[in-house]
Amino acid sequence: MKLKEIPFNDQSAERIYRDYLYRIRKEVKGLNQQNQDEILMELNSHIYENLQAHPNGNEVENLLNILEKLGRPEEILKPLVADKKLTEATNTFNPIHVFKALLLNLTNGISYIIFFILYLFLFGFVFLIGAKIWNPSQVGFFYKPDEVFVLGLSKGLVHPSDELLGNWFIPTMVVSAIALYFIITLLLKLKRTINK
């Protein structure tokens, strides 16, 4: 459904209104089109209903009072956009969308910081797969009792013979990355159901 802009008689009121809509669009541009339209139409509906409730008086003054009550889009939409983005991400199972949603939600609490760290581990596993292909003798799972424990790039700290996984390193990292990805996604869905 297309947004129908509210007509104003006063040019200043129209400029203020269009600026407010522009700021809303700017804040919601990271969401899919359906969510963008939903938020935009909801706020536009609030403005329209309040203008209809107070038809008398100066349009500019009435509009400014309404927008002041609604709040600045940069502040009021931040948690809503973060929540919608997280919903989009968990529905699509797209790791890039989940990562972006977690970045938006970092300000919402410690649990999102934990999820963000788990995602860094996930991308670390993917990076290790590429590094193992690029530099097989220096990258791996190196372990020597009471001396060395390295998962990653050894940079000459250990002898290549101390690498435990050998040719199984890449399959192990692939399985670990997939398992961690599904665990993170399930934990995110669980957190969302708890929050509701």
- Model confidence over 121-138: pLDDT tens digits? 888 888 988 888 888 888
Q: How many residues does the chain have?
A: 196
- Model confidence over 132-173: pLDDT tens digits? 888 888 888 888 788 777 787 777 666 666 778 888 889 998
How far the first Cα of the chain sits from its last, in Å, is 28
Please compute Rg for the chain using Cα positions.
25
Lowest mean pLDDT among 8-12, 51-55, 173-177: 51-55
Is the torsion defined by CA of 84, 85, 88, 89 positive or negative?
negative
Quickly list H helices, 71-168: 73-92, 95-105, 110-134
Is the pTM of the predicted complex or chain greater than 0.75?
no
99, burial (CB in 10 Å: exposed 0-12, middle 13-18, buried 19+) = middle
pLDDT given for residue 45 in this prediction: 92
Q: Domain ranges in the chain?
A: 1-81, 109-196
pLDDT given for residue 85 in this prediction: 81
CA distance 45 to 49: 6
